[in-house]
Structure 1
Amino acid sequence: MSQPHVRIVRKNRRPVWVVVGIAAVAAVILGIVFLPRLLGGGPAGASAASVDSAGQTPQSGGTLTYLDAEVIASASIQNGTWQSTALTHNITDRLVFANPDTGELEPWLAESWDISEDGLEYVFRIRDGVTFSNGQELDAGAVQRNIEFQAFGNPDLGVVPNTTYPIVDTVTSDETERTVTVRLVEPFSPYIKILSNWASSLVADETLALSAEELQQATNVIGTGPFVVESEVYGEEIVLVRRDDYAWAPAGSENQGAAYLEKIIWIPVLEDSTRLGSLRAGEGDLIRYVQPSEEDALAADGFQVLGLQGTGQTNTWILKQQIPALRDVRVRQAISAAIDRDQIIDDLYTDNWTTASSLVTEDAFGFTDQSDKLEFDRDRADALLDEAGWTERDAEGYRVKDGERLHIKTVIDVFDATSAPLFQLIAWQLQQVGIELELTEVDYANVSTAYADPEVGVLRTGWPQADPWVTIRNAFDTEKTNTLALPETDEVLNDLLNRQTTVDGDERAEILAELQDYLIDNAYAFPILTDTQVFALQPHVRGFEWTPEARPVFHNTWIAED
């Protein structure tokens, strides 16, 4: 294969910090199995959701230095990026625990719950003896106020509701019975699962009283979790210290008391080479994001290399119909057919990565295999473009129609360390059928502005989520966000998107199968690969665990002495 010749535009304007509100959490119906996949073998003894330390006695104390690849721009529990939600998982707890080993939804701060036959009423019994890190008791009233905060937000303080939440009618509590009753306006089958995820984390009244701006500060998030934010130097370092009185881990946790680690130093290191060099120099104990080319060398040198595929959306490209050429289904279908996903994996990735077979991962509820519709077929792509009237070519070989080149603009994903070569290879593949894909490179500070550019025709999406269908509904519904930029309402799409959350079991699965067919047949969006979170750990790190969505959790992590 010759070197890709593609156009890359770099935009490094003066940073204008904005809150990136990515609703990266959704839900699945109760009892559905969702397991993070450990790929590439992993270290000996690694289980579904932890680095095994069987036969070893955990050692208490010590400091773990975690070098992440991205800055935590906002610590708000409702709106955040992947890295901020990982932080949330370590400083807060939730009513429901999603067990990453079994896939079951288990009681946690809610000892139990009952759901009415019509699916409109939920009664939660709240665990006794739990406190927030500021000393406030977690009683039924505190849970009620948290659910109201999630459902309704706080307009006076600029706080918006949790976009993955159902439409709530009323919330009441009974302190004597330690119960909280939630009444919904309409059935919402993913609700229990939503309560297990980061956006439904419980926080103290002191946090609930803050403005949207104040909620972005990590030191202001007061939870019941095993760690507390001791300090934050924005963009440079967050220091977590353990709660010595923590005693309400999920029932299946081997450690029912305080965390083993005394302290975690959480540092964003954006440059791949610097992050890797720091690990090799012993300046970091754990890093996230390792370039595929570095994985084997790290493993050969004794580091633990983990490739974790979490439940959720796959690495999906959406085609925005604000670009006139993309309103033609034949052009959209041609783009999908021109992309050789196998070549992408073979040329750029390792065994820790796989091609995607649908818009969601295989362990997500409702997944149907769409791989036969995603096969690489350059001849079909050429035929579709010819049929759509793009028959002429300019001097550079790009297709032309009515004097206009078939030119599409995209933004290289800043939230994926492997995205630059991925986008460049896809641009080369599209060039082979006469499509010019312009790649725009931006930094974290300007990504929201770049995504909102009305000239952008293709965007990458996809986040680890327990039930991605709620987020897909919010994004694709033409009456909501309309991320697809459809020029007019698509009643069929909207019906499928919204009906699937009101039913459960086989009925929901049937709707989701129809939804996947509809989105991919119309080439509204199509998957490329299944995202992998690649972590590299020092040999002395033990008990490292992760959520079903592959977010790191440190309650059981410990440092082995040399």
Structure 2
Amino acid sequence: MVPAAALALLAAACSSTAATGADAGPPRPGGTLTIAVGSNPDCLDPQQAGTNASLNVGRQLVDSLTDQDPNTGEIKPWLADKWESNADSTSFTFHLRSGVTFSDGTPLDANAVKTSFDGVKALGAKSLLGLGYLASYTGATVVDPQTVRIDFSVPSAQFLQASSTMSLGILAPSAYQKTSDQRCQGDGLIGSGPFVFDSFKQNADVVISKRKGYAWGSSLWQHQGAAYLDKVDYKIVPEPGVRTGSLLSGQLDATTEVQPVDEGQFQGNGFSENTRPNPGIVFNLHANTTKGVLTDEKVRQAVSKGINRQEVTDTVLSPNYKPATSILASTTPLYADLSKELAYDPAGATALLDADGWVPGPDGIRVKNGQRLTASVVFASVFNQSQSVLELIQQQLRKIGFDLQLQLHTNTETLQLQQSGNYEFLWYNVTRADPDILRNNFSTKAGNRSKLQPGNPLDAQLDQEASTVDNTVRKPAAEQAQRLIVEQAYAIPVFELTQVVAVGEKAHAVNFEASSRLQLFDTWVS
């Protein structure tokens, strides 16, 4: 069913198109940004949220200990002026800036940070992202009112980047007097961020407003003091056509999740597009190496060679999307360019399969000892174009004699299949601006989606990458991990997901932070 709010937007969207405006001049405070998101937020609490719609709201409500430069990946001051870690990256000490308060007036001090981190840990699996960041967290110690030490049981170099994310954003102690479900709906959601929660109407909108007196923004932001906008009104509009039409008609100032087919409508005529590839693991076919034909390394390698990634982006997506050149996106710190290893090579795929004893059957699909060369891929429609991408890959792989079967499931079903290991290929991406996301998904001590055996060479590189914040050590380990994953085809990279936000003539500086989530502190409307 189409929500009433979306129907109203659609009716208005058919009436007019936006006009081109003059130069808006310097930023000015005031006004409301009306922006569409493509789904109902699953939870507004940034410590629990997992979907883009939720994270794009939650980022505005909480501050983090650090921030991450989207261009360089460097970790910069925010709530913490400075920090240090011990030699084996099991302990991190943060020195907090003074004068910071939560929106309920209480101070953001070392005790509040401890309470917040303990609160994330207590959430367990409800903290979809924080659970991984704090997997080996043993506790926080209040050294003095402005100094807090965070301790881990094993080396956790990834934590410094994790401290910049909204999933570890700091909530007030009073927030934990509410249940986790209450916080998901905004009840008691008290942060120190530049905006505060106003209202959440299911399947309609979320409204946040400026935090008056805010004066402790990230060192990376373009201005200091309070945010420019008085309010942000996130309209929940699942239908891509409604979002597009509503922006064209002036009913919206901006929209997230612009579909590739609609991008051309926002290139000129007073409109603009802000884009940023998501860092982290690219969309990929992640192989369960214990299932069917995927136990054969040569088969997995042939599948990788048989995929024409450039054709995928050219045909189904748009120039805003890049063919994968590693298992990590090019915006991820310590990314390694493996484009040569991921080149389209159908002749090479055919040679591998021929040498491996797979011969063409009567329908063109190869067979070996009575077994067909086939595997299924489990996927959910989290990204609107996933099915179209997979259908094209299916066609490409038939040319080398491989039968890819598509299995569409709900998000919940897909998660259950992933957790049970009952899949051959798993189709997904994961956003994180740190190479440690590989350890989360490939290590036999963590997600192990490839179902590898402990003690394999990849584990050693992932452990090394996690052992120190020193990039002279982390970089070669992260690069070797990427190379092993690609060369062994434990997962087969396809394309980099890109966030595409279309912006009308009245909205300015609708920015992204390092994890490709919206950062609206510097945003303003004319």
Question: TM above 0.5, one fold?
Answer: yes
Which of residues 197, 203, 213 in structure 2 aligns to 1:229? 197
| Structure having greater relative contact order (Cα 8 Å, sep ≥ 6) | 1
SS of residue matched to 1:362: coil
**For 1:545 and 1:314, how far apart are their aligned partners in 2?**
22
Could you tell me which residue of structure 1 aligns to residue 96 of structure 2? 126
Give the Å deviation of 1:70. 2.9
Could you tell me which residue of structure 1 aligns to residue 14 of structure 2? none
**For 1:97 and 1:206, how far apart are their aligned partners in 2?**
24
Q: Indicate yes or no: 2:489 matched with 1:489.
A: no
Q: Indicate yes or no: 2:337 matched with 1:337.
A: no
**For 2:95 and 2:449, how far apart are their aligned partners in 1?**
38
Q: Indicate yes or no: 2:467 matched with 1:502.
A: yes
Could you tell me which residue of structure 2 aligns to residue 434 of structure 1? 401
Residue correspondence of structure 1 range 372-391 to structure 2 within 5 A: 372-391=340-359
Which of residues 36, 59, 63 in structure 2 aligns to 1:93? 63
1:73–1:235 CA contact under 8 A, matched in 2: no
Residue 165 of structure 1 aligns to which amino acid in structure 2? L
Which of residues 512, 527, 538 in structure 1 aligns to 2:493? 527
Residue 405 of structure 1 aligns to which amino acid in structure 2? R
Could you tell me which residue of structure 2 aligns to residue 457 of structure 1? 424
Give the Å deviation of 1:215. 4.1
Could you tell me which residue of structure 1 aligns to residue 158 of structure 2? 190
Residue correspondence of structure 1 range 317-336 to structure 2 within 5 A: 317-336=285-304
Residue 69 of structure 1 aligns to which amino acid in structure 2? G
Could you tell me which residue of structure 1 aligns to residue 53 of structure 2? 83
Do the aligned partners of residues 442 and 277 (structure 1) sit closer, same or farther apart at CA in structure 2, a change above 3 Å counting? farther
**For 1:159 and 1:375, how far apart are their aligned partners in 2?**
38
Give the Å deviation of 1:105. 2.1
**For 2:475 and 2:38, how far apart are their aligned partners in 1?**
36
**For 1:485 and 1:123, how far apart are their aligned partners in 2?**
36
Could you tell me which residue of structure 2 aligns to residue 71 of structure 1? 40
Q: Indicate yes or no: 2:275 matched with 1:278.
A: no
2:207–2:231 CA contact under 8 A, matched in 1: yes
**For 2:420 and 2:149, how far apart are their aligned partners in 1?**
44
**For 1:369 and 1:94, how far apart are their aligned partners in 2?**
31
RMSD: 2.7
**For 1:89 and 1:55, how far apart are their aligned partners in 2?**
26
Which of residues 314, 330, 349 in structure 2 aligns to 1:362? 330
Residue correspondence of structure 1 range 18-29 to structure 2 within 5 A: none
Could you tell me which residue of structure 2 aligns to residue 393 of structure 1? 361
**For 1:363 and 1:481, how far apart are their aligned partners in 2?**
23
SS of residue matched to 1:350: coil
1:322–1:455 CA contact under 8 A, matched in 2: no
**For 1:101 and 1:397, how far apart are their aligned partners in 2?**
47
Q: Indicate yes or no: 2:197 matched with 1:199.
A: no
**For 1:244 and 1:131, how far apart are their aligned partners in 2?**
11
**For 1:400 and 1:221, how far apart are their aligned partners in 2?**
58
**For 2:325 and 2:118, how far apart are their aligned partners in 1?**
38
The superposition leaves residues 203-258 of structure 1 with CA deviations (integer Å, 9 ceiling, x where unpaired) of: 01132344444443344432111112211123332111221222211234343222
Which moves more between the two structures, 373-382 or 325-334? 373-382
Give the Å deviation of 1:329. 0.5
The superposition leaves residues 434-483 of structure 1 with CA deviations (integer Å, 9 ceiling, x where unpaired) of: 2222223345565434655765322223233110x322212112233221
1:237–1:267 CA contact under 8 A, matched in 2: yes
Q: Indicate yes or no: 2:321 matched with 1:353.
A: yes
**For 1:145 and 1:54, how far apart are their aligned partners in 2?**
47
**For 1:193 and 1:54, how far apart are their aligned partners in 2?**
38
The superposition leaves residues 72-94 of structure 1 with CA deviations (integer Å, 9 ceiling, x where unpaired) of: 21334344123322222111101
SS of residue matched to 1:536: strand
Residue correspondence of structure 1 range 40-59 to structure 2 within 5 A: 56-59=25-28
Do the aligned partners of residues 453 and 388 (structure 1) sit closer, same or farther apart at CA in structure 2, a change above 3 Å counting? farther
Q: Indicate yes or no: 2:375 matched with 1:408.
A: yes
**For 2:270 and 2:47, how far apart are their aligned partners in 1?**
38
1:164–1:470 CA contact under 8 A, matched in 2: no
Do the aligned partners of residues 418 and 326 (structure 1) sit closer, same or farther apart at CA in structure 2, a change above 3 Å counting? same
Q: Indicate yes or no: 2:520 matched with 1:554.
A: yes
**For 1:442 and 1:281, how far apart are their aligned partners in 2?**
35
Which moves more between the two structures, 321-330 or 408-417? 408-417
Could you tell me which residue of structure 2 aligns to residue 35 of structure 1? none
2:195–2:208 CA contact under 8 A, matched in 1: yes
SS of residue matched to 1:277: helix
**For 2:192 and 2:461, how far apart are their aligned partners in 1?**
38
SS of residue matched to 1:93: coil
Structure 1 length normalisation: TM-score? 0.82
Q: Indicate yes or no: 2:447 matched with 1:478.
A: no
Residue 135 of structure 1 aligns to which amino acid in structure 2? G
SS of residue matched to 2:148: strand
Residue 234 of structure 1 aligns to which amino acid in structure 2? Q
2:90–2:153 CA contact under 8 A, matched in 1: yes
Give the Å deviation of 1:355. 1.6
1:139–1:175 CA contact under 8 A, matched in 2: no
Which moves more between the two structures, 141-150 or 180-189? 180-189
1:355–1:530 CA contact under 8 A, matched in 2: yes
Give the Å deviation of 1:186. 3.7
Residue 172 of structure 1 aligns to which amino acid in structure 2? T
Residue 255 of structure 1 aligns to which amino acid in structure 2? H
Residue 325 of structure 1 aligns to which amino acid in structure 2? V
**For 2:306 and 2:127, how far apart are their aligned partners in 1?**
43
What is the identity percentage for the equivalent residue pairs of Structure 1 and Structure 2? 28
